[in-house]
Structure 1
């Protein structure tokens, strides 16, 4: 009788453990956010929006390389006024008042091949910012209106910024407004020199650490 009681207690504890573990697992699969009631204040975390793109990471890993429409790192940097600047808009904009949700994000929200321009539209790393023209300007001329003496910062060299031989390269730029690493480092619109070989691993900062301080020796400052 005593043995039967011990066995019954063990079975009860086992069933309770399985039930609690199963419930915990189901809760882990639920969405991170509860639906907001009408009129309830909403806390906006802009960087959370970028994770919408991560549902396509397995598509990135299966995509064949399009040799005819690859974008090089030189083209990538030539489309910027300086290293770290927002890229300019390299195509005509029909409506000068066009904003993200109504125009830009139709192509740059999810990316894809644009037959009209015979190239791939890069994915924006910050689709939650819809006032695109606040930072991105159209190219009106290929020359400066007035010559300046501003020296451009040298762009980071590919493959030489690792802490140790064979270790993952560091992130050589700031990540503000660049929270979605896959926007520049994965897919057919990514420059071939910085295209990642493992886009399915979306937790990039687990291995790649931030080093966004660029130091340039400008010599002794003297006021003339």
Structure 2
């Protein structure tokens, strides 16, 4: 009887030890998946589109804002104000101070937009208001000068509503996201070009449906799904 109780006690101790060792080993194996990121500065989760989340409070205003058809911008004027596709827009109006940096002047109109009576147009909203040295990238237009016309071409401009992966699927993003972190700056509001103004500015998580692609897509014809059962 004593031998039987001793054997049972030994198996119980071994079983408890097995459970304890297995439990310890299991949680040790999970630790690598939960290593915290050690950084003195907070790391933004989605830095490439942080601007749209910062201005998300204006999304519902854009949704309910009536369209001013008499003062709409178009993609033609949008691209004509650029030296080439992807270039920063030029300054199409006179500037008060030629050496103005921009933080105290440009942002008065371009930080939040609005109608400017002087130019009879809506001021486009900058997607990067934190960069106050505006004249570092944006230069004033020169309509008169000593330069002669050349054979320089602005490059191919992406077409609208033809770059979807499948018929009916959301269009891809045909441009880089650097310095364009605020999608609402160009795709919502009264200053947005009418061809690319979205109908759903309240859905601020744009990249949940739209994926970046700066490559030219070719027509692959009709997509046919293969039947693996045959």
TM over 0.5: yes
SS in 2 for 1:101: coil
What's the counterpart of residue 24 of structure 1?
none
Give the equivalent residue in structure 2 for 1:114: 116
SS at match of 2:104: helix
Distance 1:75 1:195, change over 3 A: same
- Is contact 1:53-1:110 (8 Å) kept? no
Match of 2:194 in 1: 192
Once the 2 structures are TM-superposed, how far is the Cα of residue 43 of structure 1 from its aligned partner?
A: 6.8
Under a length normalisation based on structure 1, what TM-score does the superposition of the two structures give?
A: 0.72
Distance 2:72 2:144 in 1: 23
Equivalents in 2 of 1:61, 1:143: separation in Å?
A: 43
Distance in 1 (alpha carbons) for counterparts of 2:202 and 2:145: 41
Structure whose CA Rg is larger? 2
Give unpaired runs (5+ residues) of structure 2. 1-39, 218-230
Asked if 1:137 corresponds to 2:164, the answer is no
Structure 1: gaps spanning 5 or more residues: 1-40, 216-224
Q: Which aligned pairs between 1:163-174 and structure 2 lie closer than 5 A?
A: 163-174=165-176
Query: Over aligned residue pairs, what C-alpha RMSD do you find?
Result: 2.2
Q: Could you tell me how far apart the structure 2 residues matched to 1:175 and 1:164 are?
A: 23
**Number of residue pairs matched by the alignment:** 175
Counterpart position of 1:53: 55
1:83 to 72, 82, 85: 85
